[in-house]
Copies of this chain bind each other. A is one copy, B any other.
Amino acid sequence: MKNTTSAKKRSPGRPRSFDRQAALETAMKTFWAQGYETTSISDLSRAMGINAPAIYSAFGDKKQLFLEAMRLYLGDPQSQAEAIAGAASAREAAAMVLANAVRTFTGEDTPKGCLIGTGLATGSPAAADVRAEGAATRAALEALLTSRIERDKTGGLLPVDTDAGTLAALVSCTVQGFSTLARDGAPAARLQAIADFVLRGWPEIEGEGVDAEAVRRAGDS
């Protein structure tokens, strides 16, 4: 029985010589830059500064390490759900999601683009289950947005004939597009300009103008 992820048990043996969290963060960035299957254990070992056996004893195998890196990348899933549900409108929620993607994909200290979108875009059939995890996070985001949009429809903030699925897919589509554009070197300002453009076309109840700039500011939170 190895002591891998959880387990707060006392360990009277030799202490670990590296910071597990820091090593995980380095692994995340390495996967982020190179992709899941195209990052080798020896790549990770070199970047993390620890030998291969130490990786296995601390994180399990390559798949488990990636999944843990993915969870670190995604942060608390509940906070995202609450942010979307708690936004003043679906449009504000979308603005938040897009602004967050811009920030994440163009960070200075991290690789460009989306760890999941690009690092898990494709690969061999052997890694199909890991890719399915990535697709599940996208589906979860779309589901959250869809229900938030439906709530706006019943709440009178959106026309009742709004196609919630399409609108949610539009946001997801834009986020995924950001990933490729960011990886190609697009600056944050350009991505944000695209986000503003998309939000400008957000459906409205007739007669109610919306201050797009205010919505954008709200997304910076």
Q: Residues of A with Cβ closer than 8 Å to B? A: 33-35, 37-40, 43, 113, 117-119, 121-125, 127, 135, 138-139, 163, 165-167, 169-170, 172-181, 183-184, 186, 190-191, 193-194, 197-198, 200-201
Q: Is the CB of B166 within 8 A of A173?
A: no
Name the B residues within 8 Å of A197 (CB-CB): 166-167, 170, 201
Query: What is the CB-to-nearest-CB distance from A161 to chain B, in angstroms, rounded to a whole number?
Result: 13
Cβ contact of A166, chosen from B40, B124, B180, B193, cutoff 8 A = B193
Identify whether the interface residues of A are mostly helix, strand, loop, or mixed. Answer: helix
Whether B183 contacts A177 by the Cβ 8 Å rule is no
CA distance A71 to B22 in the complex (A): 43
- CB contact between A117 and one of B39, B43, B124, B180 (< 8 Å): that residue: B180
A34: chain B residues within 8 A (beta carbon): 122-125
Q: How far is the CA of A80 from the CA of B117 in the complex (A)?
A: 27
Q: Which residues from B are CB-within-8-Å of A38?
A: 37-38, 122-124, 127
Most buried by B among A40, A165, A166, A186: A166
Smallest Cβ distance from A110 to chain B, in angstroms? 14
Shortest C-beta distance, A181 to chain B (Å), equals: 5
Q: Which residues of B contact A181 (CB under 8 A)?
A: 169, 172-173, 176
Collect the chain B residues with CB atoms within 8 Å of residue A35's CB.
Answer: 121-123
Give the chain B neighbours of A176 by CB distance below 8 A. 176-177, 179-181
CA A113 to CA B138, docked complex, whole Å: 15
Contacts of A139 in B (CB 8 A): 184
